[in-house]
Structure 1
Amino acid sequence: MSYIKVWSKFSGSKDPSKKFKIVVAPLDRVQELAEFMANYFVKEENNFRASGVPNSEEALKEYRDYMTQQLNNGAYHAVVCCVDNGNDEEIGDFVGASVTWRTTKDACVEKFQVKAKEYQKFMQLSAGMKTYYDITVKHKQDKYYIDRGIAVHPDYRGYGIAQEFLKVRRMECKEHGVPLTGAWMSAFGTQKAGRRDGWEIVCTIDRHEFITKFDAMHDPNTPPTIEFMIYKI
């Protein structure tokens, strides 16, 4: 039986009787993880929505293929949350996932052939945000953890899972000698979790102005700002 790395065990904030654990994502469930992220991150993350990716089967497939590729080749690292049944040798159904990119200041940008026009628009928005704040330019460190998404199943929101994922990211940084982690927080939930976990807001973008600048779709049910948050170890 293979060893399962358990990063954290915790009780749900709104119901302490609910027990959860965060573990390293199993390599034999990478496609399942990519599907989870497509369903509960891509379909709700603001820049993906502004680009129209959730409404395009072609774009969603490209995302799943890209995420699977990056996880399989080790470029992306993921941890998942599941209900804690008391058996540390079992990983149940995913109720949350956190994906990061372990990178360096001299790392090459990930390469992937993007064909769907919606995915191309998303890439344009991502590049646009980097012109506002580029962690590798602003911070002269050799290694970084950069966010590639946090997702929580709708049935398990409100239990503090997103905030626990941020705590685990800090733990990962300490274990692997990475001095800095950063993330664009573009949803109410992640912005709230980042503040509660003590992350520092180093850049704020007016969402309406940003979306208008790049001729993307406006969503009235999103935060008025996009915030880049960092945590120094």
Structure 2
Amino acid sequence: MSPGTSDRRRHRRRTLVVWCVGLAVVLVVAAFVGPAVYAGLVNRHADPVPTLGTGSASVGAAGPLADGRWTVGAGSFAGYRVHEVLQGHDATVTGRTDEIAGAVTVSGGRVTAATVTVQVASVLTDEPPRDSYFRSTALETSRFPTATFVLARAVPASSGAVSLSGRLTVHGVTRDVTFAGRASTGIAGAEVVASLPVTWADYGVDAPRLPFVTVDDHGAIELDLHLARSW
């Protein structure tokens, strides 16, 4: 048996053990209130899909984003969305964090460079046991504390549909990706909402599959970015 095979087996065993322990509290609650009721509670706690105009920042009067340097500011967040089934009942889980930073360069009416960094350990859902699994086993945030997106292709610095192609690094794995979304720009700044379908295994992350809960092997990464002038 190769060392790599042994490591993978140990990782799968550790994934199962940590997930079982992490869900113990969740299952106790579910046993009392019933799977259908519990799934309903999870769905009610799920955050809506990001849309323009939901944050606290304002872009001001409409128009293209001015040339210069802009930073990711207040009102911004990043997170994930995933579907799971608890004893036959569907639930949507979302995790969110506002610990996100980044910089954007605009030149000639186009975004020519952009980098966004997320502190992954700060992503939270409605269940601390789930978050503990997310940090310790799924994304191993002690080893890989950040996720980063670097824009690879210039895009218009104006309102409308956006297609953000670049390099995404999660869990120490870097892949070419394209976020799809929309932008709203003005003299005071800009807001960009975007999402990316993702298969967890592409980033070395195993989706747990246990008798009482099944987590999809795919989901989405979501961004809501508010850009403010960097003077």
Same fold by TM (over 0.5)? no
Q: Which has the larger radius of gyration?
A: 2
TM range (shorter): under 0.3
Pick the structure with more helix per residue.
1
Structure having greater relative contact order (Cα 8 Å, sep ≥ 6): 2
Pick the structure with more strand per residue.
2
| TM-score for the superposition, normalised by structure 2 | 0.25
| TM-score for the superposition, normalised by structure 1 | 0.25
